[in-house]
Amino acid sequence: MDTENPELDELSAWLVHELHDVALGDKRLERRLLTTGAKLAARPSVSINQACADWADTKAAYRLFANAKTTAEKIRAPHYRRTRERARGHKRLFAIQDTTYLNYTHHPSTKGLGPIGTAQQKLSGMILHTSLLMTEQGLPLGLASQEIWVRPPKMHQRTAAARRKLPTEAKESAKWLKALRQSRAVVPPEAQLITIGDSESDLFALFDLARALGTELLVRAAQNRSVCAPEVGRLWEVMGRQAVCGQLQVVASARKGKPKRQALVTVRFAPVSLKAPQHLRKTMGDMPLYAVLVQEEAPPRDVSSPLCWLLLTTVPVDSFADAVERIRWYGLRWQIEVYHKVLKSGCGVEKAQLASVERLLPYLALLSIIAWRLFWMTLLARHAPEAPCTLVLAAHEWRALYAFHHKTHQVPARPPTVGQVVLWIARLGGFLARKNDGPPGVTVLWRGWQRLSDIAAAWLAFHPS
């Protein structure tokens, strides 16, 4: 498609690169997607009205999301291709899956929403399931899969027994299998892909699919399944009988008003063979896996819920060092929760007042890509602080930022580093950069990013060349 548009280059060069080969079947619509996306990327937490320059731009944005040709799948397709390009050269990658709820109860005029939460809460909205592709060091390369859907209005009227009788493809839990297939298709075949999920992903069908696709899994166990080899019994009891192979200091996250803390845990591991659930035994055989039990056996007196993780993985665990590595891998899972926070709080997607679910879907696809970029930029400053800032900023953006931060009209010929510009952006967002503050987080970064947008626009006005 034709992207020779000076306005686009000035607004957001990265978005033009990310979506340059989007195929909506209409050149003018594709150009509008890029210009609207660039405006939303420049001011991610404001409404469509605020992000657009005037009423004509605002109307064009609403028409974009109302157009039947503008689908979420078509918007995400080029991003998946860029994700695959960024994945090249990596020997091992992680696809971290998680689900979040988008609450639009406060927008009752939006058509097509469904129930979320419990029946008593009477909330309405949509469900979003994401697979985020990450390197071993924890740098997010992009989305590998994303699905957004609406529950049927009478979902809560089904009994648990009725839900169990549904075929796998008709259950919500099928989201894990769909995301696994999509993630495997995005990742280059030469890379080892390890999908990570929380206890909701403890599905026998998911392990069976991973085996069929030749890919790896690491999930937190939720079911106390039957173990048939090398020991017989229930999973938790079998693992509790294993010898402690070592101890480890881990960080317990903050919960119920209590701050995060250091916890001393014991580690046990063993190969196990899990028996398939009764209703799957005709189609699925026993599943050989490796289990790692992480347990806080002497918690502080004021801790009511000591740490206890039982991890299941297809990747061999033959030593304490292997077990520690699998625990570290599972620790990457929290990154997708931060990503969903960026999407909902940083990009304010739950504030969008669009007329229907059909219009929300392409909007959410576009903002999901913008949220990834904000998250990636935050972590890139930690993983590659000495890289040139041209990886994250256009020329006019870093020059405007340098001049504003240093209160000067003179800018250097050589661009500053990623670490430097991210710190300056965070300071625009209220980061104090005190000695013990640590690296800036995503909240101050998205606040600063919006201020930088205005500063960069002013720079362009006075330096049009």
Q: What is the pLDDT of residues 241-291, one digit of tens each?
A: 999 999 999 888 777 777 888 889 999 999 999 999 988 888 888 999 999
Q: What is the spatial distance between Cα 445 and Cα 442, in angstroms, rounded to a whole number?
A: 5
Local structure of 55: helix, strand or coil:
helix
Note whether 351 and 49 are within 8 A (CB).
Answer: no
CA–CA separation, 349 vs 40, rounded Å?
11
Question: Is the CB of residue 200 less than 8 Å from the CB of residue 177?
Answer: no
Is the CATH code 3.30.930.10 the one for domain 92-182+194-203+216-342?
Answer: no
The band of 165, judged by pLDDT with boundaries at 50, 70 and 90, is low
More confident residue, 301 or 213: 213
Q: What distance in Å separates the CA atoms of residue 3 and residue 20, rounded to the nearest whole number?
A: 7
Q: How many CA atoms lie within 13 A of 426 on its CB side?
A: 23
**CA-wise closest residue to 57 among 74, 38, 44:** 38
- CA atoms in the 13 A half-sphere facing the CB of 408: 7
Residue extent(s) of CATH 3.90.350.10 domains in the chain: 92-182+194-203+216-342
Number of H-type helices and E-type strands within the chain = 16, 12
Q: Is the confidence at residue 1, as pLDDT, over 50?
A: no
Average pLDDT over residues 144-173: 78
* 189, pLDDT greater than 60: yes
Q: Average pLDDT of the chain?
A: 91
d(CA 334, CA 179) in angstroms, rounded, equals 18
373-428 pLDDT tens trace: 999 998 998 889 999 999 888 888 999 999 999 999 999 999 999 999 999 999 99
Model confidence at 158, in pLDDT bands (50, 70, 90)? low
Query: Alpha-carbon distance 116 to 126, whole Å?
Result: 7
**Out of 49-53, 110-114, 162-166, 434-438, least confident range:** 162-166
Q: Which residue has the higher pLDDT, 461 or 156?
A: 461
Range from 129-133, 225-229, 232-236, 456-460 carrying the lowest mean pLDDT: 456-460
Under 8 Å CB-to-CB from 64, ≥6 apart: which residues? 29, 32, 33, 36, 70, 362
Model confidence band, residue 14 (pLDDT cutoffs 50, 70, 90): confident
Which residues fall within 8 angstroms of residue 315, CB to CB, at 6 or more apart? 194, 216, 218, 290, 326
User: How confident is residue 3, by pLDDT bands cut at 50, 70 and 90?
Assistant: very low
pLDDT over 70 at 11, yes or no: no
Interval 122-144 mean pLDDT: 96
Q: How many residues does the chain have?
A: 465
Q: What is the pLDDT of residue 154?
A: 72
Q: Does domain 384-462 sit in CATH 1.10.3210.10?
A: no
Q: Mapping DSSP to helix (H, G, I), strand (E, B) and coil, where does residue 19 land?
A: helix
Encoding tokens for residue 309?
């993780």
The pair of three-digit structure tokens given for residue 156, joined into one six-digit string: 């809560």
> Is pLDDT at 70 greater than 60 in this prediction?
yes
Residues 6+ apart with CB under 8 A from 457: none
pLDDT band at 184 (very low <50, low <70, confident <90, very high): very high
Can you tell me which residue has the tokens 């949509």? 126
H or E element: which one contains 141? strand 140-149
Q: Averaging pLDDT over each range in 143-157, 171-185, 300-314, which range is the top one?
A: 171-185
Cis amide leading into 230 (omega within 30):
yes
Q: What is the pTM for the complete model shown?
A: 0.91
Show the tokens assigned to 322.
């292997």
What are residue 293's DSSP bridge partners? Answer: 268, 310
Cα–chain-centroid distance for residue 297? 32
The mean pLDDT value for 64-83 works out to 98
Residue-level pLDDT at 9: 47
Residues of the chain with CATH 1.10.740.10: 384-462
End-to-end alpha carbon distance in the chain: 26
What's residue 5's pLDDT?
52
The whole-number average pLDDT for the span 152-170 is 69
Q: What's the DSSP call for residue 239?
A: H
Cα separation, 134 vs 424, whole angstroms: 26
The helix (H) or strand (E) run that includes residue 78 is: helix 72-87
Q: Which residue has the higher pLDDT, 162 or 125?
A: 125
Helix axes of 442-462 and 395-406: crossing angle, nearest 10 degrees: 100
Query: What residues contact 202, with CB distance under 8 A and at least 6 apart?
Result: 219, 220, 221, 222, 223, 312
Instruction: Output the six-digit token pair for 375.
Output: 């998250």
Amino acid at 250: V
Token pair belonging to 238: 């079998």
Alpha helices in 347-416 (DSSP H): 357-383, 395-406
Closest CA to 332 of 136, 183, 98: 136
Residues 113/357, Cβ–Cβ less than 8 Å: yes
What percent of the chain is helix, strand and coil (3-state, nearest 5)?
Answer: 45, 20, 35
State CA 160 to chain mean position distance.
29
pLDDT tens digit sequence for 219-229: 999 999 999 98
